[in-house]
A and B are shown apart, each in its own frame.
Chain A
Amino acid sequence: TQLLEQSPQFLSIQEGENLTVYCNSSSVFSSLQWYRQEPGEGPVLLVTVVTGGEVKKLKRLTFQFGDARKDSSLHITAAQPGDTGLYLCAGPNTGNQFYFGTGTSLTVIP
């Protein structure tokens, strides 16, 4: 069961452009994580958001957790080719399972 829907599913942009990826759910999460995955590798944790309304910044990446803790967004400013990858949000349910969003495949063209 996919509890987390991401949009867009695919995104191809030019270097220097800005973009936002959304992660939405009808369920409340105690926390949400964002990962980036490159082909043939495991996901790498970027950030964890815990508090509703929380905003975290990681260089050119800005993460926000919705006030109701049902959604999150990832904004990248001035995208670079090195930002290319699969971006995944993920969160735990009440049963200790950990579910991933549907994923957003980002390609940044030089």
Chain B
Amino acid sequence: GAVVSQHPSRVICKSGTSVKIECRSLDFQATTMFWYRQFPKQSLMLMATSNEGSKATYEQGVEKDKFLINHASLTLSTLTVTSAHPEDSSFYICSARDARAGGDEQYFGPGTRLTVT
């Protein structure tokens, strides 16, 4: 149980285009999902916290108009990188908290490698 999927796993796009990344909890309901960004050999940096049915809470320094987050259902959150630039190239990882479990544990997706050319 507690499986989180992400799609796509890899995406290459041209500078100026937008890219949407999906994060799904497959076998549990996730009232809260988190989006992280990770550069090579570095830790995960929290970008935003997404609560189902409400606006996402962005971390300081993360542009909410550039990284659009939608959490329309208990099993799906999306991250859209708008007008992508090469510096947005990174590994994006989502995680979800099991609403029923009541604990602090999160379950992570396999990540999406974004390359902007």
Contacts and interface: CB of A to CB of B under 8 A. Distances in A.
The CB with the most chain A CB atoms within 10 A, among B43, B44, B108, is that of B43
Nearest to A2: B43
Of the four ranges (under 10, 10 to 19, 20 to 34, 35 or more), the interface on chain B belongs to 20 to 34
Interface in B92-117: 93, 95, 103-111, 113
Contact of B49 (A96, A100, A105): A96
A30 interface: yes
A100 B111 CA distance: 16
B93 A42 contact: yes
B105 A103 contact: no
What range describes how many residues of A lie at the interface? 20 to 34
Contacts of B32: 96
Given A41-B110, A42-B93, A43-B108, A98 B34 contact: yes
Contacts of A97: 34, 46, 49, 57, 59
A24 interface: no
Interface string A41-72: 11111001000000000000000000000000
Contact of A48 (B36, B46, B104): B104
Contacts of A90: 106
A98 B111 contact: no
Interface string A1-24: 110001000000000000000000
Contacts of A74: none
A86 B36 CA distance: 16
Interface of A: 1-2, 6, 30-31, 33, 35, 40-45, 48, 86, 88, 90-92, 96-103, 105
